Structure 1
Amino acid sequence: MDRSPARSVRSIVAAAPSDRKHPGKAIMAGGIAGGLEIMITFPTEYVKTQLQLDERSAKPRFKGPLHCVSLTVKEHGVLGLYRGLSSLLYGSIPKASVRFSVFEFLKNRMSTETGRLTQPQRLLAGLGAGVSEAILIVCPMETIKVKFIHDQTQPNPKYKGFFHGVRTIIKQEGIRGTYQGLTPTILKQGSNQMIRFFVYENLKHWIQGGDYSKNIGTVKTALCGATAGAASVFGNTPIDVVKTRMQGLDAHKYKSTWDCVKQIARNEGFRAFYKGTTPRLGRVCADVALVFTLYEHVMRLLDYVWKTN
């Protein structure tokens, strides 16, 4: 019987629980999870965007998140909280697909045979996932979403629907019109996913106690996701405020991202950089908890029906 050291090492590695996931499965699982999540949590995204666009330098329309909700429902009904959903839904599926597949790809490239990463490698994988989704999906999607929501608050909205709105934006502003705020979007998404994946994976692995293949259950997965989401909100809401302003209908007022920062600070004060934190916190915690939980469930289903090495 062959008892060579090399064979013994390979046997131990093969038997060890692995944290690696197939990028192809990650594309599918991420897309399904992203689509379901946004349909559940969109109203809080709508309120957050409205509050961030409600500049203090002008006469503010909303007194707070609850006032924004009540006024929207009074004027447009409950479905008014879903205005602009189509633009976000069309982008959420590919966004989550890119995010999870790039993260799994980078993690697999950098990790050991059992999927173990150093902390800097985990941060780098999350950063790479965020930057990729920002450039490929998030920036054009978010620009269109913000323009849609902002347009619906005008006396005479000019966008008749998603495709009409996209055609109008491209006709009037070109492809560059869908890439407003690219720099703050890259900063936001890069820091978002770097923080979220770092916190989520560390909490998950701590609960697993070294067995990376162990299923920690729906409740614990959701709690890990919610904690990761909260950490990202407190870490980068100022970037999100600047990004939203740079993508709104009044973006022409700003010469650059830095000029937007200076104008907000000068005209509205430091607290303006944390506008929309409350609704964003609620949305993001629910968002990240849902998407990570759904992702894990769909991934386990795919592992059952799609066998990969």
Structure 2
Amino acid sequence: MNQQHSSGTATRTLPFYSVLFHVKYEHLLAGVSGGVASTLVLHPLELLKIRFAVNDGHLKSRPQYKGLVHAVSTILKEEGARGLYRGVTPNCWGAGTAWGFYFFLYNAIKAWMLEGTSKTNLGPGRHMLAAAEAGILTLAITNPVWVVKTRMCLQYANLETLSPSKRYSGMIDALVKIYRYEGFRGFYKGFIPGVFGVSHGALQFMAYEEMKKLYINHYNLIPDAKLGVLEYLTFAAASKLFAASTTYPYQVIRARLQDQHKEYNGVVDVLKKTWRFEGTRGFYKGLLPSLLRVTPATAITFVVYENVSRFLLHKK
């Protein structure tokens, strides 16, 4: 992929590998910090989202929850407080790695796109393109961890119905068994809907950047002005709600493909069976705990990211 910039009559082409010249480790560390912080605080809501998302009502061995309150009380009763934090280790690894690489690559791609131009901001379309490119690269790196996280979250109290190959004592055990019994392909279950899910991040970052730009322009601030915590929280929460509600069905499809309790023959099979037995509502199972989680999670992530990256960059 090449990019052309014009200066007068001269045009130069920038190869995509030149994006490496704009890499800054500060964005990686700041993204990891934000992702881990939000995950540690809000993992129980992620667990609830996954358990609701995969529950089609057909598997009798799967716990049946009547709502959020009933789900929490049932998990506490059958699995204890630790039950709400099943899968937290791979989730921290996944969130930290994903946010770290996402911010890392996103900022590098943005800087590369702006190289050789007099512009200080990208338009909404190019913000979405930068976010989409960063998202696909990040997904390719982190998908194995998301498979493990989903399966660890679905380790119910009653595991007798599962074969030993699908019972996991921890993250490393899950990685070893998935590779041993399912091969390398097992790590990339749910990858295709994950690619469609990149639109989630693209929409989120486009909205976040555009809101920041409008705010800065409205108050005649310098382009890289440091905003207050309230502004970052507001922009992060609003952009995440917008993206989450727009793209949620892909999360249901991905979770069902990664579920160790039930086998599907790909994305189309999930779509057909979900539509046939559950209708439109089936594609939005787990939306409430997801929305309850994503807004504070994104707010925490972005606030930590913005402050840590600014601190590291200024210190440097």
TM-score (norm 1): 0.87
The corresponding residue for 1:286 is 296
The corresponding residue for 2:191 is 182
The corresponding residue for 2:215 is 207
Aligned residue identity for 1:241 = V
Any conservation in 2 of the 1:130–1:192 contact (CA below 8 Å)?
no
Greater mean alpha carbon deviation, residues 222-231 or residues 151-160: 151-160
**Distance between the aligned counterparts of 1:233 and 1:142, measured in 2?**
18
The alignment status of 1:77 with 2:80, answered yes or no, reads yes
Aligned residue identity for 2:126 = Q
The corresponding residue for 1:143 is 147
Any conservation in 1 of the 2:78–2:157 contact (CA below 8 Å)?
no
Aligned residue identity for 1:305 = K
Distance of aligned partners of 1:250 and 1:76 in 2 relative to their CA distance in 1, 3 Å threshold: closer
Any conservation in 2 of the 1:207–1:216 contact (CA below 8 Å)?
no
Any conservation in 1 of the 2:90–2:171 contact (CA below 8 Å)?
yes
Partner SS state of residue 56, structure 1: coil
Instruction: State how 1:4-15 maps to structure 2 within 5 Å.
Output: none
The corresponding residue for 2:127 is 122
Compute the displacement of 1:261 (Å).
0.5
Stretches of structure 1 lacking an aligned partner (at least 5 in a row): 1-5, 7-20
The corresponding residue for 2:179 is 170
Aligned residue identity for 1:192 = H
The corresponding residue for 2:51 is 50
Count how many residue pairs are aligned between Structure 1 and Structure 2.
284
Instruction: State how 1:268-279 maps to structure 2 within 5 Å.
Output: 268-279=278-289
Identity among equivalent pairs (%): 27
Compute the displacement of 1:239 (Å).
0.8
**Distance between the aligned counterparts of 1:204 and 1:22, measured in 2?**
22
Compute the displacement of 1:202 (Å).
0.9
The corresponding residue for 2:257 is 246
Any conservation in 1 of the 2:57–2:64 contact (CA below 8 Å)?
no
Compute the displacement of 1:68 (Å).
0.9
The alignment status of 1:160 with 2:169, answered yes or no, reads yes
**Distance between the aligned counterparts of 2:92 and 2:175, measured in 1?**
14
**Distance between the aligned counterparts of 2:31 and 2:213, measured in 1?**
20
**Distance between the aligned counterparts of 1:72 and 1:51, measured in 2?**
13
Partner SS state of residue 151, structure 1: coil
Any conservation in 1 of the 2:23–2:105 contact (CA below 8 Å)?
no
Compute the displacement of 1:113 (Å).
4.7
TM-score (norm 2): 0.85
